[in-house]
Structure 1
Amino acid sequence: MIKRCLKYAGSWTFCYFVYCQFGDCKPFGIVRSHFINCSTIEEANLSSWKRFFEFASFNCGGEAYMSPFDFMQSLTSKASPEIITRKTLNRLEALQLTKETPSVTSSSCTFFRDANHHGLISYFDYLFLLSLLSEPESRFRIAFDLFDQNKDGKLEMDEFYRMTSGILPKKLRENHYEKTTTKHKISEYTKDDCFIFTTLSNHFFGSDHKSTLSYDDFHRFIRNFQLEVWEFQFMLFSTSEKDLTELEFAKMIYSYISLPLHHQEQCFKHLEAKSHSNLLNRISFEEVCKFFTLLNNLNNFSYALNLCNLSNDPLTHVLTIMEN
């Protein structure tokens, strides 16, 4: 998969160099720019909670919740809402808001946009979803297998929440409990009477929370979720709604990082000069997806480069071995 991405990187080299040069911390998906200046995990912890709290439009049991609409807006809006009045829900209203959540077996790449304001996303869900945008799928495969205790290829809800708790950075994970009124561990938290089951828990485990989640369904959800977010961002920057110019692509990349304005202007002038010479390429949505997939697998790519140096083998040969 990494090998297939390489051939699309040529026209993006300049943007990608800037991305790597100035992007000196691990991305939290599309909202990378909001954490780029965080020098410690504690600062990222505070920043992620602040971002969530600014966009959350619901309150239930003393806790803030996002709607699916809030979540998508938080990924793409640089500015937080000027005024937001949180609607307070009782437990019954919260259940009504999530009861129509479709099963994961019918997951689609419009799931969050279709749900719109009808759903609840907790801060823990928020952190988990961000991790899906910035981690390679292989990491979730390993975690899934580790927590699949009876090795039947499926997880029950408690197993799943223990898995996701283990994936998230410890400091970010602890922040969820520090900022909420419920102080239970994950295994207890999912069973507690005051726990509000969210859109994600209903999607994965049904409204009765007795269903199991297979890795095939989980993998399909990850891919559909990534495609939905990437498409949402793609449509914001594409004037044709079919593809991106290199200039539009550069603007999309710069929306992920904090960079002085004069650096951005230098890049844009360079690309505008190419456009006047009719040398500007157009980039399809499929190519954008391959680019983001490459970013999520940079550790594997770096490892492959090191192997090339040690073995003197061509990069394509090493990547083929890794894929197999």
Structure 2
Amino acid sequence: MERLLSGSGRQCLSWLIQQHSRIFASLFSSFAPSVSSQSSLHSQSRIVALSHHASFVPTQQQLQIFSSLQQMPHRQRLVLASLAVRSLQTSSVLGVRKSPYSNFGHKQKPPTKWSFFYCTFLCVLLTFFVGFNGMDWIVKKLKVDAASAVGSEDGNAASEDSEPEEGEGKKRKKKVGFRDRKIIGYEDRIRAYSTPDKIFRYFATLKVVQDGEIYMTPEDFVRSITPGTKQPEGLGLDSFKKYDPQKESLKDLRARNPSESSSLSTDSIFYKLGEHGLISFSDYIFLLTVLSTPPRNFEIAFRMFDINGDGELDIEEFYKVQEVIRNQTSVGMRHRDHAVTGSVDHGLSSSLLCYFFGKDGKRKLTVKEFLDFQRQLQREINKIEFERYSDNGQTISERDFGEILLTYAGLPSKKMARMLKRVKRKFKEAHKGIQFEEYTAFWKFLKSINDVDTALSFYHLAGVSIDMETFRHVAKTVAMADLSEHTIDVVFTLFDENNDGELSNKEFVSVMKRRVMRGLEKPKDTGFVKLLNAMWKCATTTTNFLD
């Protein structure tokens, strides 16, 4: 009885009442016959109303409870039945009084999946625009899409560029694929933003077996400063060919790789750098300094460091001139010695010092001799560039000449394709070519591009159109360069957008100035470091405006 009247017994009996009302109703009538019929019917109807029918499979514990109920005295069964009915009525009342309201306004709702995704999207969008300059990227993509939508003509130009030139038996150019374009783009970024140490280690191709020193060939040097040219397969950053100067000469090495080499004369300026015409890292820094500095700056520097005023410099004075001028160039400002990689500037090579100051180092160097060295270096580089496009070493096509002029232009690829296509269409039938003498004469004209800019500006202010005859007159009187009519015709075809026979001097001069400097005047960084330095100076510098 105590076990049945306990909490577990009443709970089990209430469960039996709720789940199996019919069976319990029959038991109830037998357990409590003395209960009034009205009360019994009322209780049974409430039990039936609050329960649902289901199949009944009693457990062992339930069978024991049923047997105990049958053995109970009549009075105890009445007490137990009344307790069970009271428990059932209490639970039903509580169920009826359960509040139907939910989701009150003051209760904080958990975040949904959509709100989580929305917040994540906003964070990614903010990072894209602030951290990665996303607006410029979108504008660039839109420009590319717009250009491709209206530039079907330019796409045909790219396919036509792979055709062979007529009249010269020129070999069919290999069309640049997707992989090569990505590699060329990566190498152009190295040329534009990397340190001189990394550029040298990327484009150098030879490593001497004896001392492990890394060297560039003259072709490697030109490739390192010429955008759009691809490094040979299998060569790259810290990947070199083994070279033993005791067993193999540089001429034999060039003979094994004719497609990657050009013919250097025995009196080439590169042989002044060393016996084999190879370029060390110190020579590389020196040559870049010479190429990126106008002759006028060297004249001023020679006069400033000429202590006795005889117009000549000894070896110590020349070292000072070299250091000052190098620190003013973009290459010198980015250069740092790296002893781990072996890229350390040891100064001029012994062969170059011997060329400038004699074997004993006591001879003095004049500014005229140094400027002659600069002109010879420019001529050698022009010859290597010319032979890269020439099959016979004598002429190049008009289109190739235009491509050389636009190498450092920095123009959009679609616009360059249109310009080159105009040249190719015009000279496709009357193909004459550009000779090396005409090429060097135009380079002489470019050396005076600043004076030419002033002269063309005078013509523009006077309202005089710049036609071919005017252009030739300016070249002859200002730059002392005798340009051929064919060369001027190619230049006008390249830069004459509206085909009116007049030159747009603004774009022409800006492109030619970049061509003269070979892109070496550009800073070798993205400008972020300069921005931080400027912010630091503004934060640390205090100015009293009341003084």
Of residues 63, 80, 83, the one that matches 2:231 is 80
Q: Aligned in 2, Cα 1:139/1:266: closer, same or farther, shift over 3 Å?
A: same
The higher relative CO (CA closer than 8 Å, separation ≥ 6) is in 1
Q: Aligned in 2, Cα 1:156/1:58: closer, same or farther, shift over 3 Å?
A: farther
State the Cα distance separating 1:154 from its structure 2 match.
Answer: 1.6
Identify which range, 304-313 or 43-52, moves more after superposition: 304-313
Amino acid at match of 2:443: F
Residue of structure 2 equivalent to 1:172: 331
Of residues 22, 46, 71, the one that matches 2:221 is 71
Distance in 1, matches of 2:417 and 2:329, equals 38
Of residues 200, 219, 228, the one that matches 1:52 is 200
Distance in 1, matches of 2:220 and 2:448, equals 28
Name the SS for the 2:446 alignment partner: helix
Structure 2 matches for 1:202-217, cutoff 5 A? 202-217=354-369
CA contact under 8 A between 2:200 and 2:281: conserved in structure 1?
A: yes
Residue of structure 2 equivalent to 1:249: 401
Of residues 371, 385, 388, the one that matches 1:219 is 371
Residue of structure 1 equivalent to 2:301: 143
CA contact under 8 A between 2:399 and 2:423: conserved in structure 1?
A: yes
CA contact under 8 A between 1:205 and 1:213: conserved in structure 2?
A: yes
Q: Aligned in 2, Cα 1:287/1:146: closer, same or farther, shift over 3 Å?
A: farther
Distance in 2, matches of 1:117 and 1:298, equals 36
CA contact under 8 A between 1:304 and 1:319: conserved in structure 2?
A: no
Residue of structure 1 equivalent to 2:415: 263
Distance in 2, matches of 1:80 and 1:117, equals 25
Q: Any stretches of 5+ residues in structure 1 without a counterpart?
A: 1-32, 94-106, 183-188
State the Cα distance separating 1:232 from its structure 2 match.
Answer: 1.5
State the Cα distance separating 1:234 from its structure 2 match.
Answer: 1.0
CA deviation digits over 1:203-256, x for unaligned, max 9?
A: 222344333212232222122211111112111112342223311212323444
Q: Aligned pair 1:156/2:314, yes or no?
A: yes
State the Cα distance separating 1:198 from its structure 2 match.
Answer: 4.6
CA contact under 8 A between 2:196 and 2:334: conserved in structure 1?
A: no
CA contact under 8 A between 1:244 and 1:284: conserved in structure 2?
A: yes
State the Cα distance separating 1:292 from its structure 2 match.
Answer: 2.3
Q: Aligned pair 1:295/2:446, yes or no?
A: yes
CA contact under 8 A between 2:357 and 2:363: conserved in structure 1?
A: yes
Q: Aligned pair 1:237/2:378, yes or no?
A: no
Amino acid at match of 2:203: F
State the Cα distance separating 1:281 from its structure 2 match.
Answer: 4.8
CA contact under 8 A between 1:68 and 1:115: conserved in structure 2?
A: no
Q: Aligned in 2, Cα 1:251/1:217: closer, same or farther, shift over 3 Å?
A: same
Amino acid at match of 1:287: E
Q: Aligned pair 1:285/2:436, yes or no?
A: yes
Distance in 2, matches of 1:287 and 1:115, equals 28
Distance in 1, matches of 2:416 and 2:449, equals 24
The higher radius of gyration belongs to: 2
Distance in 1, matches of 2:225 and 2:357, equals 25
Amino acid at match of 2:438: E
CA contact under 8 A between 1:55 and 1:70: conserved in structure 2?
A: yes
Distance in 1, matches of 2:267 and 2:186, equals 25
CA contact under 8 A between 1:109 and 1:225: conserved in structure 2?
A: no
CA contact under 8 A between 2:452 and 2:474: conserved in structure 1?
A: no
CA contact under 8 A between 1:121 and 1:198: conserved in structure 2?
A: no
Amino acid at match of 1:167: I
Q: Aligned in 2, Cα 1:296/1:252: closer, same or farther, shift over 3 Å?
A: same
Distance in 2, matches of 1:318 and 1:264, equals 25
Q: Aligned in 2, Cα 1:238/1:210: closer, same or farther, shift over 3 Å?
A: same
Name the SS for the 1:276 alignment partner: coil
Distance in 1, matches of 2:409 and 2:296, equals 26
CA contact under 8 A between 1:243 and 1:285: conserved in structure 2?
A: yes
Residue of structure 1 equivalent to 2:115: none
Q: Aligned in 2, Cα 1:203/1:276: closer, same or farther, shift over 3 Å?
A: same
CA contact under 8 A between 2:293 and 2:329: conserved in structure 1?
A: no
Identify which range, 139-148 or 52-61, moves more after superposition: 52-61
**Percent of aligned pairs with the same amino acid:** 30
Distance in 2, matches of 1:240 and 1:108, equals 19
Give the total of aligned pairs: 260
Q: Aligned in 2, Cα 1:113/1:231: closer, same or farther, shift over 3 Å?
A: farther
